[in-house]
Structure 1
Amino acid sequence: MRGSEEIVWPGGEHAFRLGIGELRAIEQKCDAGCAVVLMRLLSSAWKIDDVIAPLRLGLIGAGMSERDAQRAVDAALDVSSPYALAVPAADVLQRFIMGNSADKPGGDQSGES
């Protein structure tokens, strides 16, 4: 699995990472597959755990303690709405289940090796 990525979100700038364990935990917490959770986030048909779980577990997956991750999510909820947090939650989830263009076969198409 990929390493962590720095993401700016209403809670600040933090490293996030969703490994297989965190992805499975999201599925259990949200009672749906990660792709279903992502689609609910993108279509504004999410449940509150669809928003919170990718953020909290992404912080934990990148090395933050469970307590500090919960505090970071709670602090973000104090200054932002769950609706506003749905976008970064979708971003975190999408990065780790879909990857990015550099991860696709053929790699960098710029012609450089």
Structure 2
Amino acid sequence: MKGIELTWAGGEHEFLLTIDLLRALQLKCDAGPQHILERLTTRRWMIDDVLEPIRLGLEGGGLRKEEARTLVRRFVEDRPLTESVLTAQAVLMGALFGAEGDLPGEAEAGKERPIRTRSQEESGGSPASIAGPA
């Protein structure tokens, strides 16, 4: 799974919410990731709905916990929260829907996958009947 890169806090940062980090987010916000995203997009968010996806996403992207907390304190907590809502949305959307161009099953650059075809029987279809009408 690959994270998303965002220009944030004066530089490029990678944000990644793994399953374990999404579980931590759920516990912290007392809601599932999709519900948190819905609250963010409908302007019914709670404080941790904004702070936690960014902090946890930074940790998942490779920052140490203390570095992530320092950045969140400086660029989220010490500023108007509404400035960070779109960042929190982007981080959650990256986790739930994937990064742009990160399609499921997509082959790595330069590698081709063999084309597989399945017969009608293998794909669950009925074999063609050879008997005529009764």
Common fold by TM > 0.5: yes
Gaps of 5+ in 1: 108-112
Contact 1:11 1:76 survives alignment (8 Å): no
Post-superposition shift, 1:100? 4.5
Which has the larger displacement, 17-26 or 73-82?
A: 73-82
Where in structure 2 are the equivalents of 1:15-30 lying within 5 Å? 15-30=14-29
Contact 1:10 1:85 survives alignment (8 Å): no
Contact 2:25 2:56 survives alignment (8 Å): yes
Mapped to 1, the partners of 2:17 and 2:33 lie a distance apart of 11
Which has the larger displacement, 23-32 or 97-106?
A: 97-106
Please give the per-residue CA displacement for 1:7-48, whole angstroms capped at 9, x wherever unaligned.
112464211111011111111100000000000011110000
Identity across the alignment (%): 38
* Residue 110 of structure 1: aligned partner: none
In the superposition, the TM-score normalised over structure 1's length comes to 0.83
Aligned to 2:101, the other structure's residue is in SS state helix
Aligned to 2:23, the other structure's residue is in SS state helix
In the superposition, the TM-score normalised over structure 2's length comes to 0.71
| Structure showing greater relative contact order (alpha-carbon pairs closer than 8 Å, 6 or more residues apart) | 1
Mapped to 1, the partners of 2:83 and 2:71 lie a distance apart of 15
Greater Cα radius of gyration, structure 1 or 2: 2
Distance 1:33 1:67, change over 3 A: same
Mapped to 2, the partners of 1:73 and 1:105 lie a distance apart of 31
Post-superposition shift, 1:3? 1.9
Aligned to 1:102, the other structure's residue is in SS state coil
Post-superposition shift, 1:74? 0.8
Is 1:86–2:85 an aligned residue pair? yes
Displaced runs of 4 or more, over 2 A: 9-13, 77-80, 100-107
State the superposition RMSD in angstroms.
Answer: 2.2
